[in-house]
Every structure is written in C-alpha cells, then in structure tokens.
Amino acid sequence: MATPITPFPRVKHQREVFADGLMLDCGVHIAPLAVAYRTYGRLNADRSNAILVCHALTGDQYLAETQPLTGKGGWWGNLIGPGKRVDTDRFFVICVNVLGGCMGSTGPAEPRNGVDGDPWGTDFPAITIRDMVRAQKRLVDHFGIARLLAVVGGSMGGMQVLEWAATYPEAVFAAAPIACATHHSAQNIAFHEVGRAAIHNDPDWKGGRYWEDGRVPAQGLAVARMIAHITYLSEAALTRKFGRRLRGAPSLTFLEDVFEVESYLRHQGSSFVRRFDANSYLTITRAMDYFDLAAEYGGELRAAFQGTNTRFLVASFSSDWLFPTAQSRDIVRALNAAAANVSFVEIASDKGHDAFLLEEPDFYAALGGFLVGAAERVGV
C-alpha cells in the first residue's frame, strides 16, 4: 500500500559549483561538481582557524542553525556556536553536504547537468568515503585554506576524518575521528543491506526512477530508517525511553502498534522520508560499506598514517555497539604503530552510538579541550 507523500521540497542551498568536476574512485568522471556547505564564524587573516566538521550518514551541513526541511536546530548546535565549547567567535567552522547527499551537493537527487532537468537517479556512480573527502578538499582549496586547524566528525563523519588525515596529511593539523572505525564490519554491512532491501522492495521505488511520478519509496525508506535507528541506540537507552510501556489500553492484538517503542520507531521512519532521498541513502550506505582504510594502503592500517604530523583525538562511547570501543582502539593502535601523536578517550555513556549527537559533558569537554589545545599550538 503506497503512501502518497509530497517528495521533499527543493531548497536553494549555498554551494560552489566546480565545472571541471571530479574523478571518482570507480573511474567515472562527474562534472560539474556541486559542493553545498555552511560556514559559521569568520576565517581569520592567515586562514589558520578553520575547522571542517564532517557529517554522518543522514546528517547535513546545517550544523549549528535551523535545518530548512525539518525546522529543527542544527545537529551539533549545542556544541558549536558563539561562546560554545567550539566557539565560532574564535573558529571558522565549515560543514559540507557529502558528495552523494541530498542537500545540494552532487548526488542522485541532483540534476545531472548541475542546473535542471532529470536527476542522476540510479545512474549516479558508486562513490567512496575518499571521494566525499576529495569533494570537500575542493571547497577548502577554494577558500584558500592550505591547512585546516582540525577535521572533526562522528560515525561516517569519523570515517571522513580518517580519510582526510590519510589522504591530505599536510592539510590537517588536528583530527578527531569519533565513534567510528577504519572499516565497516560484516554486521554493519548486514544492517545496511536489510535497509537497502526494504527500499528496493517498495513498489514506489520503481527501480530508482521514482522521481518520474513525483513519488518516493516512503515505506521502504521508513523501514530502512527504523532498522538503522535501533542500531543507533543502546539497549539501555531504549529500555529507559520506552521499556515495555503500552500505548493506551493493553489490548491483545497482532495487527496494531501496542508498545510505545513501536510508534516511536514508526514516527522516526515516516519523518525521515520527508527529508531524505532514497537513492541518496542507497549511495551513502554503500560508500560506508566500501570503506576499508587498510585496504587502500596494501592491507597495512598503519601505512595510512606513516610519517603523519597530525595530532589525533580518538573518542568512543562505552555503550556504542554499532562502532564499539574496540574499533576505536584499532585506530589508536595503528596510529601508535605510525608513531603519531594520539590521545584516546572512551566516554562513559549508556546512550549508544547516538551519544555523539547528544549533549555529553565529558565528550564536549574532551573535544573542546583538544581543539583549544590545537588552536593554542598554532597561535589562533
């Protein structure tokens, strides 16, 4: 049963368009390349105070301001802003919608020619985390920033941080990969694959050409979001939030939502489809699945960081079972093996993977302190 919903509205996003395009890891050259972004604070005279923040799978560039589709505050609005832990009176913060995203950067939902007409749809080539980073580098170069004070991000954002540090070590003074890993595990791939199967199965997906009817595969995308959402929360967080509480009368039925956790998940699913493109979700989940930093360096993870001068803060959350602490320790071990400057913190939290998006005082203090320390070192 298809649910007719309005496809998410097209918003005019701030962006740079690079006519010469980008060569991708898959060997396809795409042109033009549009890079949508938002900045907060001011770039100083010697261009030394720039912090690039990389967003996660379903995040976007509206980091510290109202998101135009949802009307909700920015996803790190509590952390970043004037006078906040990451103080935009001091730092120039850049956030880029990832390549393959659906908030203005080149991706499946964007017109193929960058201006109007049919979107890329399923013709959009497969991309990698490194391709996302290359697109961001174009914007950083455009700003005339030779070296970023820091690159910061959680989850898929953390994968981008690792890729930045490996690919452009001279351009990254400090790097904070948070709640992430050097590769996607078999379990992570499996969860993504089930979400993709749900999208593919939706008759409204129409082999990826859903835009032709002005419809979206809302039910498939919602199920994909529901699955993912469970993996973002810890068992403890779900139990605290909902436990086994019933909605209204505890009637015995096998057809209706009866537990509060069910209607919460359904709400998560249905609100997601109003802000996210299904082909974009397919593209980006695949990019995460492909991510395997060691494989890019001959199977030797430490080779990705050989000779690096970047300072690292690696952070994990104790109840994160999607990117557990052990995976962050693998990053630390590789950095140690490359004799890098690395600090590691596991934040005690029972909120699961989601904790990196929530106001966790210890995390804010660790990340804020790390960035201030880096700033003092370079005289910002």
Among all residues, which ones are annotated catalytic? 155, 320, 353
Nearer CB in complex with a copy of itself: 78/318: 318
Q: Is 354 annotated as a binding residue?
A: yes
Q: Is 225 annotated as a binding residue?
A: yes
Nearer CB in complex with a copy of itself: 175/288: 288
- DSSP assignment of 58-80 equals T--S--SS--TTT-PPPTTTTTE
Among 17, 31, 69, 227, binds a copy of itself (CB under 8 A): 227
3-state secondary structure of 155: coil
Among 26, 115, 146, 365, binds a copy of itself (CB under 8 A): 26
Residue with tokens 């998940």: 265
According to the binding rule CB under 8 A, does residue 283 interact with a copy of itself?
yes
Backbone angles phi, psi at 209, to 5 degrees: -105, 35
Q: From the CB of 289, what's the least distance to a copy of itself, in Å?
A: 7
What single-letter amino acid sits at 361? P
How far, in Å, CA of 57 to CA of 278, rounded?
12
- DSSP assignment of 91-140 equals -EEEEEPPTT-SSSSSSTTSBTTSSSSSB-GGGSPP--HHHHHHHHHHHH
Helical spans, DSSP H, in 214-305: 218-232, 235-241, 260-272, 278-290, 293-296
Closest CA to 328 of 316, 343, 336: 316
Nearer CB in complex with a copy of itself: 45/186: 186
Annotate each residue in 84-123 with x if it binds a copy of itself (CB under 8 A) or - if it does not, as one string.
--------------------------------------x-
Cβ partners under 8 Å of residue 136, min gap 6: 35, 52, 54, 96, 160, 164
According to the binding rule CB under 8 A, does residue 261 interact with a copy of itself?
yes
Q: Up-side HSE of residue 5: CA atoms within 13 Å toward CB?
A: 21
Helical spans, DSSP H, in the chain: 129-142, 156-167, 186-201, 218-232, 235-241, 260-272, 278-290, 293-296, 325-337, 361-378
Among 214, 255, 299, 379, binds a copy of itself (CB under 8 A): 255
Nearer CB in complex with a copy of itself: 243/369: 243
Residue with tokens 């979206």: 216
Give residues 177-196 in contact with a copy of itself (rule: CB under 8 A): 183-187, 189-191, 193-194
What single-letter amino acid sits at 53? V
Q: From the CB of 192, what's the least distance to a copy of itself, in Å?
A: 9
Give residues 301-330 in contact with a copy of itself (rule: CB under 8 A): 321
Q: From the CB of 96, what's the least distance to a copy of itself, in Å?
A: 20
Give residues 133-172 in contact with a copy of itself (rule: CB under 8 A): none
Beta bridge partners of 92: 50
Among 252, 298, 299, 379, binds a copy of itself (CB under 8 A): 252
Q: Which residues are annotated as a binding site for substrate?
A: 225, 354
Residues that bind a copy of itself (CB under 8 A): 1-2, 25-26, 122, 124-128, 183-187, 189-191, 193-194, 197-198, 201-203, 208, 219-220, 222-223, 226-227, 230, 233, 235, 238-239, 241-244, 252-255, 257-259, 261-262, 265-266, 269, 282-283, 286, 289-290, 292, 321
